[in-house]
Chain A
Amino acid sequence: EIVLTQSPPTLSLSPGARATLSCRASQDIGLFLAWYQQKPGQAPRLLIYGASNRATGIPARFSGSGSGTDFTLTISSLEPEDFAVYYCHQRTNWPPWTFGQGTKVDFK
């Protein structure tokens, strides 16, 4: 099973700040990585797929990078609606497909 380790567990920032979230895979997953955003009481929402492609309707302030085992989600300038939990997810060809444990972005 591929383990995804996210860091940090919590990121305390102010609106307008830059957020950098990390996801490390236990083995090479190429570009088969997505990022999801989840707000309290809501289902997750796809932000980034294929490591660096923004999903439909996702603002340009969200960007993804990386390949192999190290990936990054960057939010260039935090808006109030961006304070949420973010999960990385690997979708290689074979199951089990796994999620990271999440990074919570909260108000400083």
Chain B
Amino acid sequence: QLVGSGGRSGRPGRSLRLSCEASGFKFGDYDMSWVRQAPGKGLEWLAHINPSGHDTHYADSVKGRFTISRDNANNSLFLEMNSLRVEDTAVYFCARERYYFRSGAYYYDSWAQGTLVTVSS
């Protein structure tokens, strides 16, 4: 199970930290990602982190502003969001990536419920 938290309202330019707490599985064995969904819009992948936390990737829309990290000892995933913009308003999901040997790729097999971030002046 994944439980996201930390979403709230803020002004443009502010910072916010989202958390995602994992339970029921060995968190440190899995790649993880953050995906967001603006109101009434589709899904957008934002950031990915490997099990050790040493390898990360970002979408261009958040590169340099957002940082994904993890604490395997405490089964937690984080998204540090800096220099927030109005267009960052969205529901943010954390998702577990499972490797499917049959297809040779990773897909999101478990998602948190989503936490809402609203950025407005």
Contacts and interface: CB of A to CB of B under 8 A. Distances in A.
Interface stretch (A10-18, A19-27, A68-76, A93-101): A93-101
Contacts of B70: none
Contacts of B108: 34, 36, 44, 46, 89
A32 B105 contact: yes
A99 B109 contact: no
Interface in B90-121: 93, 95, 100, 102-109, 111-114
Contacts, number: 71
A7 interface: no
A96 B34 CA distance: 12
Contact of B107 (A38, A42, A87, A91): A91
A57 B100 CA distance: 15
Chain A interface size band reads 20 to 34
Contacts of A89: 43, 107-108
A50 interface: yes
Interface in A34-64: 34, 36, 38, 42-46, 49-51, 53, 55-56
Nearest to B57: A95
Interface of B: 42-45, 48, 57-60, 93, 95, 100, 102-109, 111-114
Given A44-B93, A98-B45, 11 more contacts: A1-B60, A43-B93, A43-B111, A53-B100, A95-B45, A95-B48, A96-B59, A99-B45, A100-B42, A101-B42, A102-B43
